[in-house]
Chain A
């Protein structure tokens, strides 16, 4: 009996392993046919809205009316969930961040796209057209969707003047209100935050020779961890969930933390005295790409949605809704939605060059041959938070 169960399990595992073998990327489409009547999208929560959360925010209904492609949405909370869902299959599009997109391309889960079939491709921000998180060897694997910075959010009562450096969350100091920052600052509870420490060191310890915060050799990595250990003594709780951070700024007396414009906007709307800034060291950030599954069942509708994403109220309204920056700069001011030029610059439009976009740290890196891979960031960051 036991051996039979064992055999069954082993064969089950073998089956999973077999399906996990990278698939050959499908050939790029050369012409667009008629819609298949449906398109299913894996997206971040809040990314694909059809007016159900708030009637003012709807960029799906019109698309469905115009193309007869019914949009199905599957939300995912982390990049890893997105990769897992795409590996499972059955979806057409995914809004992948930079720490997932290259994994999807390497795994053959997404296909290259023909930009000639997307008339509005020309409207895409020139800085994003050939971005390395969706373009490999000159081939495009998706259309840029939305991007934004991880800003420094601060309480305007504790900081009458905007802080100019991330040092307020990395080093102990006395703030303008006469009290220490100890126990009043937060940091992100994700291993990717090691990059924020590395970015800080790029400016403050140039002798380490860090060129990219996502490509660290052993010495640079050790220095970043040391900085994070100092930070641990200042941080009472790391933030993980956007709404818990909002609550901590309201009820826990937090005055400074890395954050997203999303939380800054919600807190401001609630009348909390906060503001955000991108300090002199720069900021890390995220840039999402709409990517097409290599075995998409509805490629025509998917192409139509990619076009729709660049040429409708989507870019404008979504950037208001999510506190992000449109990938089509015109959307900031062309009245296609609610976004305004001021809103765009508030969300970070002019700070593109200061932003180091998220990418997965890998062991074979471009800048110095051998780097510390992501899975070590995970276990070491657990150690740092645990007080080691």
Chain B
């Protein structure tokens, strides 16, 4: 019955190939959807997944120890190489840095985001957005080079410390083994500070978005029921804002994990994963090992995202 009535509503086929094609598409809505989705599927499938798979295949090849020629036989030898102490160092160093940057970014971003979500109104809110986003509008390289100058031995920060007669404090911090160094710009502390600055906006925005969604009534209700500010933060505000923090941490963690420019300009020349990939595929011609290195952040991020989804991070994006 419904078939009959819908058929009656359709006009008689028009002539001309274009008109007929249009009619045909209109009559086959599924086909239309398919055609609309096809280009993006192909793009994702070939360019993205395809490239990833090609990369994965490469990581199962190995390099011949003597001639340096790539052996096209499936083996786990290259992954074994990842476990050599100096390569393991690179992985642990990068993951450690990414974790430190993420935790610090969350601690710094939370009060800023809280202020913006609760107290900033009108003009101040606009100023907040500009203030947070502004660094993202300037060139990444310019920011990193600027930081190199700020942190240098004869740079602004050292000068400020000297003027305040606090050089002893800076020297004390820099004399801490491992993370210290000859000056801020050649130590892990320096690399950490630059990463923290560069990725901070990516933490502030999602945390602010999730805080906006926590009703003011809830904290007031907690206070009415006798909760101290500390308690209402710990038991009401923070759990409700947590998805935002986790969402932000996805950005800060993965961006630090993949970066290869900051540690080259500010730091002590010890490699991070991104740099290792770059050298191995570029100068060494050891594509299997570069591919195996690339798989490491993919696996780490896979686990991380799985955990983040469990905590509801994707609702806060």
Contact = CB atoms under 8 A, between A and B. Distances in A.
Partners in one complex: yes
16 contacts: A6-B53, A13-B54, A235-B269, A236-B181, A237-B185, A237-B269, A238-B269, A241-B264, A244-B265, A251-B154, A251-B155, A252-B154, A363-B66, A373-B68, A375-B63, A383-B86
B154 A253 contact: yes
Nearest to B158: A251
Interface stretch (B19-27, B222-230, B274-282, B302-310): B274-282
Given A251-B154, A378-B280, A385 B183 contact: no
A373 B148 CA distance: 35
Contacts of A379: 86-87, 280, 284, 286, 289
B284 A183 contact: no
A191 B152 contact: no
B74 to A, nearest CB: 12
Contact of B279 (A251, A253, A382): A382
Interface in A337-388: 362-363, 373-375, 378-379, 382-383, 385-388
Contacts of A374: 68, 284
Interface of A: 5-6, 8-10, 12-13, 78, 80-81, 183-184, 189-191, 235-238, 240-241, 244, 247, 250-253, 362-363, 373-375, 378-379, 382-383, 385-388
A240 to B, nearest CB: 6
Contacts of A236: 181-183, 186, 268
Nearest to A378: B284
B153 interface: yes
A247 B284 contact: no
**Residue from the set B264, B267, B269 with the largest chain A CB neighbour count within 10 Å:** B269
Contacts of A10: 57
Contacts of A9: 50, 53-54, 57
Interface in B38-61: 45-46, 49-50, 53-54, 57
Contacts of B284: 191, 374-375, 378-379
B2 interface: no
Contact of B89 (A12, A362, A386): A386
Given A5-B50, A251-B153, A183 B182 contact: yes
A5 B265 CA distance: 39
Interface in B242-292: 264-265, 267-271, 276, 279-280, 282-286, 289
A20 B285 CA distance: 14
B300 interface: no
A80 B271 contact: no
B68 A375 contact: yes
B67 interface: yes
A331 to B, nearest CB: 32
Interface string B177-218: 000011101100000000000000000000000000000000
Nearest to A190: B283
A189 B182 contact: no
Contacts of B46: 5, 8
B166 interface: no
A296 to B, nearest CB: 25
Contact of B271 (A8, A12, A241, A382): A382
A382 B264 CA distance: 13
Contact of B66 (A184, A190, A241, A373): A373
